[in-house]
Amino acid sequence: MELPTLQERLAIVLAKRESLKKLLDLPGNGTLRIDIESALAELDELISDFKRTFPDLDISA
């Protein structure tokens, strides 16, 4: 896979992460909050791995 494609896909992941953060801030999530927190943790791990793999890229997260 080409680097520009990876960057585009990472931008999509980062946008979805922001959506999850907004969902987390909404009241009344109940037990869904656990799933949202888990998804955020997994995305953060994915982003961290990407940064370690491609340290020269500018990743805003």
The 10s digit of each residue's pLDDT in 17-44 is 999 999 999 999 899 999 999 999 999 9
The structural domain count of the chain equals 1
Q: Is residue 15 included in any domain, yes or no?
A: yes
Mean pLDDT, the chain, whole residue set: 87
Q: Is residue 25 included in any domain, yes or no?
A: yes
Q: pLDDT at position 44, please?
A: 93
Q: Is residue 35 included in any domain, yes or no?
A: yes
Residue 18 structural domain: 6-52
Q: Is residue 19 included in any domain, yes or no?
A: yes
Please check the confidence at residue 58 and state whether its pLDDT lies above 80.
no
Q: Is residue 60 included in any domain, yes or no?
A: no
| C-alpha to C-alpha distance for 23 and 46, rounded to whole angstroms | 20
Q: Is residue 10 included in any domain, yes or no?
A: yes
Q: Is residue 16 included in any domain, yes or no?
A: yes
Q: How confident is the model at residue 60 (pLDDT cuts 50, 70, 90)?
A: low
pTM assigned to the model: 0.77
Q: Is residue 21 included in any domain, yes or no?
A: yes
